[in-house]
Structure 1
Amino acid sequence: NNPLKLYRIEIIILDVNDNSPSFLSTSQIINITENTAAGARFPLQRAHDADVGKNTVNSYKLSQNEHFSLVTHKGESVTVELQLQKVLDREKQSVIRLTLTAIDGGTPAKSGTMVIMINVLDINDNAPVFSQTLYKASVYENAKIGTSIVTLNATDLDTGPNGQIFYSFSRIDRVTETDLFAIDEKTGTVTNKKNIDFEENNAFEIRVQASDGAVFPMTSHAKLLIEVLDVNDNTPEISVTSLLNSVKEDASIGTAIALVSVLDKDGSKNAMLNCKVSNNVPFKLELSYKNYYSLVVDGPLDRESSAQYDISITATDEGSPPLSSTSVINVHVSDVNDNKPLFKENIINVYVKENSPVGAVLKTVSAIDADVDQNGQVSYSVLQSNSNSLPLSSMVN
């Protein structure tokens, strides 16, 4: 019988490229600050391929983009890094999606892919921007305290605290303006803190600012013009300057006796005035210049009928509703000798006893004169008679 012989056979299994490269996860997230300098590198996951030799991972390819390139290192295995070529700008693109492809060396080659998500992290590289460089608003005087006048609006391209906006008045403005107005730091709404008086100030120019919420905030400025609208809250003021202490009763029509000026502290129609003599007297106002008048005689005067006049001057504005005021001027009429003495009787009969002693009172006569002072003082005399008898003056005084 032949003895049993054993042979050791070694079988080498030759690799066939029947596996594709694969990554441990379908995506890789990388956070990069937008001010990162070009040239910075970021390691990427390696792909795994169950094949060996040339059939394993041989190279990597990155999808077309403007910011990144690949740096490949070949050793026992192929590793790869992402290199920043162009500085990022989160405000233009906050997320960048790339595709990394791993390729083996087989024939034909197989490949596998992974998504790379680049989150561009914000830095405070943008200042707030107002929607307008000049805001215009208006508010009525005496408006209720807390009235909303205007709402400012600014935007910041940054995100998070870097993009949070706070409104305020510029510190370089006058204290008076910030005492009158308030601004909501979050909404940008401007309101009045106190009563606003058009007659004190009819417009305000205020510098406003918007700052972001960064540790070292960025700030921008704008200008706010607030026009104060008039309310008819002032009555006309009348001022009189007398030219004569009194006016003669024979003064001609047109004689000026006083200058009258009127003033209204309001504006626009609320300050437009109409002025006139409002009672029935022989005087009138003649316009000399805007809001300046002359008070003149407008009819015959007679001191004996009226020795003085109370002239009412009324000024009315054109507001809605209108306001008016009245001033009374007292004018004295001085006497002119325009009245002759008058006896109470036209004929006076005197009965005389013959042989009356010299000096005896025969009759007391009386005459009156409507004038005053010297013009009203009466003196008496006996007129000569035309008869042929003895002269009267030789018998009586």
Structure 2
Amino acid sequence: MAPYESDDTTGAAQADDELRDELRAERRRKAARYVVPVAVVGVAAATIGLVPALADSGDPDLPKITAQELIDKIAKSDVQQLSGTVKISTDLGLPDLGGLESGLLSGATQGSGSGDGSSADPTGKLTELASGTHTLRVAADGPGKQKVSVLESGAEYSLIHNGTDVWGYDSKSDEVYHSTAPDSGKAGQHEAPATPKDFADQFLKSVDDTTSVTVDGTAQVAGRDAYRLVIKPRQSGTTVGAISIAVDAKTGTPLKFTLTPSSGGAAVVDAGYTQVSFAKPAASTFDFTPPKGAKVTEGDKAGRTEKGSGTQHRGKGPAAPGHGSAKDLGKSGFDVLGKGWNSIAVLDTGSKGGLPTDSASGGGDLSGFLGSLGDPVSGTFGKGTVFSTRLINALITDDGKVYVGAVDKAALVKAANAG
């Protein structure tokens, strides 16, 4: 027979059980207060540990290659057929003039004609790539067929080279520009940097003993394995910080081009494929017939726009900022001071009095307005004004000389003093 338990004993036992349950619950709550943070810290630590792995997951494991071998690979690249989408962002640090800066850039390349040229003329249209962010569709099929389309909000501008014909079409104004290429292998005088290869070709001309060139790992661009080629000036005083070129490991085609200034911050030029294919584009890609009712302006082989009884001269399309070498500048008719990245082009306009005035508008003075955009400087050369961007700077002296280069203000003043 089991021992008899009184009600008092039973009640005490129940109280003890309840107390023990409460203590156990409290211990669980205390444990939770410590365990939960530890778990969170553990997850955070694991996540932090994964960050490098995640960041590196897009960097393909490719065979080692030297900088010279990679430059040679670019030079030997013979891609004849491709199509894709390119995104270009350009930030020269120009002042916000409500769109006036684009007009000034465009006008600088179009000369001082009558102003009745076609809005579809590539010379002025492609200059707009010098500022802002743009999306381009590009295609090529050998040296005789290329197409570049600049996609705008609700509109599109296309430049098509097909054999001996060069067509420019601006859907916004419904205007067409037509000229004849000098031969089937060149698009004439309307070429402008539009792809990473265009920019890379421009700047690889500057590689000399004033330049450091290295291979900085690998990357993936538009789904393609690529090497990263980094170009840095060895000289001080230049506004160029570094140039990075992602080179397709298989074809040697530059897939992305980035130029950062020595002052830091966002890239001055960032151009890269977001999608690319090396398959043959459809032949219809390069077909063009002026839309019915579109205004068509004809140009000749020399790139002159024929309008009525007169002609309007057009210059070569805009080049990449700071492109080329001192030798190239010299061939362009400029005097050149300095070497390598510190090269400064010197032009004597023959116009005394410094900044121009707008005499055509009844004597209105532009010098005050232009002067407000620059910094006054002086030296043994006299007085002048320096106009600065994040890459290219220019000094206009009161005796009519212009000093331009990818150098800082001090270098321009020093060059003017020496000149």
> Which structure has the higher relative contact order (CA within 8 Å, separation 6+)?
2
TM-score (norm 1): 0.16
Identify the structure with the greater strand proportion. 1
TM-score (norm 2): 0.16
Identify the structure with the greater helix proportion. 2
